[in-house]
Amino acid sequence: MAVLGIDIGGSGIKGAPVDTQNSVFTADRFRIPTPSPGNPEQVLEVIRRIVTHFEWEGLIGAGFPGVVKRGVVKTAANVSHEWVDKDLAGMIQEATGCQAVVLNDADAAGLAEMRFGIGRQYIDDAVLFLTIGTGIGSAFFVKGDLWPNTEMGHLQVRGKDAEHRAGDGIRQDNDLSWKKWGKRLREVLQIYDFLFNPDAIILGGGVSKKFDKFGPYLKDINAEVLPAQLRNQAGIIGSAMAAEESIIID
């Protein structure tokens, strides 16, 4: 079955039709920069453009950067706060005529990585999956079961949200070397490791393809730290999976 997966991010909104049985795109990914400040009207217009681009009339799955419960947005850190308490699933259906399922973007990416990526090796363990982009998204799995909406990027580290210390947006904005940024990320991962004791920490998002540049600095962490295999495709694939399987977070 093909489902249109959409990954709503702080810097870009990406979509592609997904063959959910084989975790592959059936057409090239289409990306549009997220309009500033990323309010509902702006984001919905981008989603309409993605739907039109693919001439889509079927099911849609979407990942959103915040807490999402039963399709309703509860927090919005890297897009407009106008999203809070908005029924995004209902709004997508109204805007496009397509039924939609919406969940947290990191939860979506984590579901895909655990099903089709390196997470398959840790299906009987505790796994912390992180998407490192503009911010830091998180998904926590115990024996394959998702604990949704964890939002560990907002845990305080040195008086700041973890994502404001070690997100990839901070690395780019401050032109940090991979070494300096890697040491910041190590500090954040050490705290996660101490608090949650996962067996593995999987790093996803676009930065995962540069793991060889910062991975050597992620020392003194008990959990095994690995780069994701699906990289920044995971959010689209996982959103499509969630829609097909009607995974709706209460």
pLDDT tens profile 193-249: 999 999 999 999 989 999 999 999 999 999 999 999 998 899 999 999 999 998 778
In whole angstroms, what is the distance from residue 101 CA to residue 90 CA?
Answer: 9
In whole angstroms, what is the distance from residue 62 CA to residue 100 CA?
Answer: 7
pLDDT tens profile 76-111: 988 899 999 999 999 999 999 999 999 999 999 999
- Split at pLDDT 50, 70, 90, the class of 1 is confident
Domains within the chain, CATH numbers bracketed: 2-107+233-244 (3.30.420.40), 121-229 (3.30.420.40)
Query: Model pTM?
Result: 0.95
